[in-house]
Amino acid sequence: MEYLKGLNPSQRAAVECVKGPVMIIAGAGSGKTRVITYRVAHLIRQRVDAFNILVLTFTNKAAREMRDRITNVVGGEAKNIWMGTFHSVFAKLLRVEADKLGYPSNFTIYDTDDSKSLLRAILKEMSLDDKLYSANFVYNRISAAKNNLISWQEYQQNDQIQSDDHSGGRGQLGKIYETYAVRCFRAGAMDFDDLLFKTNELLKTHPETLYKYQNKFKYLMVDEYQDTNYSQYLIVKRLAAINENICVVGDDAQSIYAFRGANIQNILNFEKDYPDLNVFKLEQNYRSTQNIVNVANSIIANNKDQLKKTVYSEKEHGDKIKVMRAFSDNEEGKMVSEAILQEHANKGLRWKDFSILYRTNAQSRSMEEGLRKLNIPYKIYGGLSFYQRKEIKDLIAYFRLTYNPHDEAAFKRVINYPKRGIGDTTVDKLIVAANQHQISLWEAASDPAKYL
């Protein structure tokens, strides 16, 4: 049990409690990842089969890091753990069970761009105002419905939803949702929200499948539980219903995804779902100075609903936090750049000793302008990923179409690329024919004499 020696008492208690419902309230910088990985390793050391452990994270990077750490403790057995994001794990599960929902096992997963492209096509076909019914607005509306497990049928039958849509001048949203869902199904495709929506549908309508996975996943762990939405909450609750060996890790004070449907009540009300809950609090911050922790605590203290904890740090006091107020984004960029230049000159620091964090990518412009004017070298992290580049998306579209010929988004992306004399008018005719005959675009294009 050498791996347990590096844990503090609170961390070790959380790691060793492996039976029944457990909630680990992990303050910022409290060694949460270490606790999760060691707890999984401890389960395996206690002769729990790795195949019976499910660990749900919020990023693939977190899952990779955890698996690497677990491997260091228990060896190759770590590769048998079901571990990943909600979407990746349940996409894998749906591949196995897709036929029960009428989907092929090789269904395509639409990314956000694919979904919005399809919605723009539907809006054009329905001759709707693209300012009133912008693809972004419609996409977010459908996404919110799916995250709350509202199907297109329920959407159209819900008086409150219909009233809200009509009062906003968007009475066709229910019909758009229906058309979008039908087109995705016909294309053998699911969007990101479907991966959870369809998993809930599967577990609800096929009790034998639910029972199968309840007995497969005897131990569940969920990271960042404060950021789960209703759909994710219900999946976890259903899977844990028999054994109740569920451990959730999170911090209500770090809940930042309400705009994406996250429901903080999931963690605040966890004890109501599991009255015999074991609660562990990780309160020592190993990352930040005392000044930073104290300021954070003073702000969080104003939260109305919260899980009480006392986060502290044993590091040095550190520099005091400065709050600077700017009257415009350009002035803010200028102030930040001048402060960096001054610190660089006075303290002999290197440029790479500084970092600038901003809330949205749009805010980078004013920062860049300020840095450029003072000839301060910089590098921006993030931006367009490799897989979002046009040439990569074009190539992947060909692969997708080869794998699933009914993939509408992939078909429309490659039909005239490279150019082969097939214009928008022809594609529009194919779409009309496919809709009339309830077939895919590929089927319509494969026999134009019959369908056009």
**Does 391 or 199 have the greater pLDDT score?**
199
Domain boundary among 313, 339, 374: 374
What's the average model confidence in pLDDT over 208-221?
97
Q: Does any domain span residue 2?
A: no
Most confident of 199-208, 392-401, 402-411: 199-208
Same domain, 228 and 279: yes
In this structure, what CATH number is given to the domain that contains residue 177?
1.10.10
Among candidate residues 239, 172, 236, 186, the one with its CA nearest the CA of residue 211: 239
As a whole number of angstroms, the distance between CA 241 and CA 215 comes to: 10
Q: What is the pLDDT of residues 25-63, one digit of tens each?
A: 998 899 999 999 999 999 999 999 999 999 999 888 889
Same domain, 289 and 246: yes
Same domain, 89 and 204: yes
pLDDT beyond 70 at 384: no
For the chain, how many residues are written?
452
Q: Does any domain span residue 317?
A: no
pLDDT beyond 90 at 371: yes
Domain boundary among 252, 272, 301: 301
Q: Can you read off the two tokens belonging to residue 381?
A: 């992290």
Q: How many CB atoms lie within 10 A of CB 420?
A: 8
List of residues 6+ apart from 396 with CB closer than 8 A? 387
Same domain, 280 and 208: yes
Q: What is the pLDDT of residues 251-268, one digit of tens each?
A: 888 887 777 778 888 888
pLDDT beyond 70 at 206: yes
Same domain, 74 and 30: yes
Same domain, 145 and 262: no
Q: Does any domain span residue 192?
A: no
Same domain, 201 and 228: yes
With b for 16 or more beta-carbon neighbours within 10 A and e for fewer, the 387-403 pattern comes to eeeeeebeeebeebbee
Under the banding of pLDDT at 50, 70 and 90, the label for residue 359 is confident
Same domain, 214 and 292: yes
pLDDT beyond 90 at 246: yes
As a whole number of angstroms, the distance between CA 146 and CA 90 comes to: 15
Q: Does any domain span residue 132?
A: yes
pLDDT beyond 80 at 344: yes
Q: Does any domain span residue 274?
A: yes
pLDDT beyond 90 at 452: no
pLDDT of 361 reads 81
Total domains present in the chain = 4
Which three-class secondary structure state does DSSP give residue 55? strand
Same domain, 150 and 183: yes
Q: What is the pLDDT of residues 408-449, one digit of tens each?
A: 999 999 998 888 888 888 888 899 899 999 999 999 999 888
The domain of 413 spans 386-450
pLDDT of 214 reads 97
List of residues 6+ apart from 10 with CB closer than 8 A? 280, 281, 282, 283, 284
Same domain, 360 and 217: no
Same domain, 235 and 280: yes
What's the average model confidence in pLDDT over 177-182?
97
As a whole number of angstroms, the distance between CA 157 and CA 154 comes to: 5
Q: What does the mean pLDDT of the chain come to?
A: 92
Q: What is the pLDDT of residues 266-307, one digit of tens each?
A: 888 898 999 999 999 999 999 999 999 999 999 988 888 788
**DSSP codes, 233-282:** HHHHHHHTTTT--EEEEE-GGG---GGGT--THHHHTHHHH-TT-EEEEE
Same domain, 159 and 130: yes
What's the average model confidence in pLDDT over 132-153?
96
pLDDT of 58 reads 87
pLDDT of 385 reads 67
Q: Does any domain span residue 307?
A: no
Q: Does any domain span residue 75?
A: yes
In this structure, what CATH number is given to the domain that contains residue 406?
1.10.486.10
Q: Does any domain span residue 1?
A: no
pTM of the model: 0.83
In this structure, what CATH number is given to the domain that contains residue 339?
3.40.50.300
pLDDT beyond 80 at 164: yes
Cα-only R_g, the chain:
26
Domain boundary among 138, 165, 187: 187
